[in-house]
Amino acid sequence: MATAAPVAPQDRPRIVVTTDLEVDDMNSLVHLALYLNDLDLAAITTTASQYHFQGDGTHTLGEVNPHWRTSGRLAYQMGRKGHGPDPDAGTLAEYRPFPQTWLEDLWAGPYAQAWPSLEANAPGYPTPEELLARTYHGNEAFEGDVREDTPGSDAVKAAIMDDDPRTLWLLSWGGMNTIVRALMSIAADWQGTPRWDQVREKVYRKVRVLGVYNGVGQDNSWADHGRELFPELALLRPSAMFQSYFSAVRDQADCLPMFQAPWPQQNLIEGNGDLMGLYRLYADGHHLEGEPERYQYCEHGVLDFGFGEGVRHRFNAGDLLGEGDSMTFVPLVPMGLRGAGEKGFETPLGVLYEDGAEPPAFVGNPFAGDLGAFNPCLKPLWEEFAARAAWCSHEPAQCIHPPVVELTCAGDVMAAPGESVALAATAADPDGRELLTLWEYDQLVSSYAGTRPVRPWDPVGATTAVTIPADAKPGDRLVFTFVARNVADHPISRYAQVAVTVR
């Protein structure tokens, strides 16, 4: 009985998730649950944001944080033009509060039901009990609230300060205030002591904050409290959306049917148990607890953030509602692309780059209606989601599992113009299925600007070679990617890469 090859624990990227439990976060969490065999979830904590906060039963937002960004009650107005802070939001005692036990209910209920089947298909999934022990409530009372330590901020602090040598990816899906509170607590413990420089250097070396559209989160807590303490902390953003209905419409029409009814219901939800049953679609009939009418997407199917008519859209029942935060964890999945790299390294979503830095030329402005860069892996990522969804309730013999790919050539090398470079890899399918393989030149993340064509001699062979263009300049970087994918209804693709630097 075939299963997916396990990722060694020390090779799993280590992550902490902070979420305000918007419905798109809930969808992202369902999706993330299917990858917890490949990612090490050290902790997950709720947090407040400009979109959601729980209140504390005593104060108002203005009493706790006069520097708010929330659009408040103005955002409830369907068809509202413009988007910005509500000047009257300081009177709010709570704002779109999320279901208080949603995370705990996820792990104890639908995930627990799916866990035996997930573990049978791909060993390495944490047990429901382990996930419950890693789940916390953070600084969720008010947007930007950093008044005191919380179980969530304590968990973030502990993960930062422990002795695990791996990079710690702090995935900011809501406000950054729980992360900022953890950093403030670290500074309170060590600032002014002989070890402060050493502690701060450890934070810089170990921690990467990866946000959705930017690294600073959906509040002003980093600018107000965090930056002065840790000015060199790496705040990263991805260059492309994980999936977007609008990007598919714009430039990837072959993906569009996968985002439209009835594909999501038929391929992600039906027959795949209660875990995938939590995955929400436009106008699917579910009521979202704590949400005003404007944000009841599962009832009326209208998306209107107040950015203007160009972004307002009425969806059909069963169209993909989307995942607003999956672009933070998908780049880290060990698929053979350089997903856990620093800025400038390839990921399934293009590159990661620092907040405030000049983005790559191909990156769009999501707030101008251009939802990020072209994502060449959009279709294979979506196909894999459907394949993994079946793991929730089907025996391994009924499921599709990732190919095993390894480079057998030298890997990254230097070469002169006109020189030939060997490219070689192996690919095996654990289910015994036929594999399609291809070597391709990745122009999107290469820096060669010459005019000569770049093409492996035998692209479909596992072993081939490529000639470096005669007009390549010293320092040019040419990236070649080996792709192996199952022949199946929902294939899974895996990759290996060779980067050639011209000398």
**What string of H, E and C letters represents the secondary structure of 406-434?**
EECCCCCEEECCCCEEEEEEEEECCCCCC
* CA 48/CA 97 separation, integer angstroms: 9
pLDDT of residue 306: 61
What is the separation of C-alpha 369 from the centre of its chain, rounded to a whole number of angstroms?
Answer: 20
Beta bridge partners of 496: 482
Architecture of the CATH domain 402-502: Sandwich (2.60)
pLDDT of residue 245: 58
pLDDT of residue 313: 81
* CA 127/CA 256 separation, integer angstroms: 35
- The answer to whether 416 and 390 have CB atoms below 8 angstroms apart is no
Strand, coil or helix: what is 53? strand
Q: Where are the beta strands (DSSP E) in 345-492?
A: 346-347, 350-354, 404-407, 413-415, 420-428, 435-441, 463-467, 477-486
Task: Flag residues of the chain having pLDDT under 70.
Answer: 1, 77-83, 213-214, 240-253, 305-311, 339-351, 356-374
pLDDT of residue 204: 97
Domain positions in the chain: 9-75+82-238, 402-502
DSSP annotation of 365 reads -
Beta bridge partners of 467: 420
pLDDT of residue 499: 92
- The answer to whether 20 and 46 have CB atoms below 8 angstroms apart is yes
- Matching CATH number, 9-75+82-238, of 1.10.3720.10, 3.90.245.10, 3.40.50.1010, 3.40.47.10: 3.90.245.10
Which run of H or of E encompasses 197? helix 196-206
pLDDT of residue 338: 72
Q: What angle do CA 394, 496, 381 make, to 5 degrees?
A: 40
Beta bridge partners of 240: 372
* CA 155/CA 168 separation, integer angstroms: 13
Residue 416's identity, in one-letter code, is A
Fold agreement between 9-75+82-238 and 402-502: no
* CA 188/CA 450 separation, integer angstroms: 53
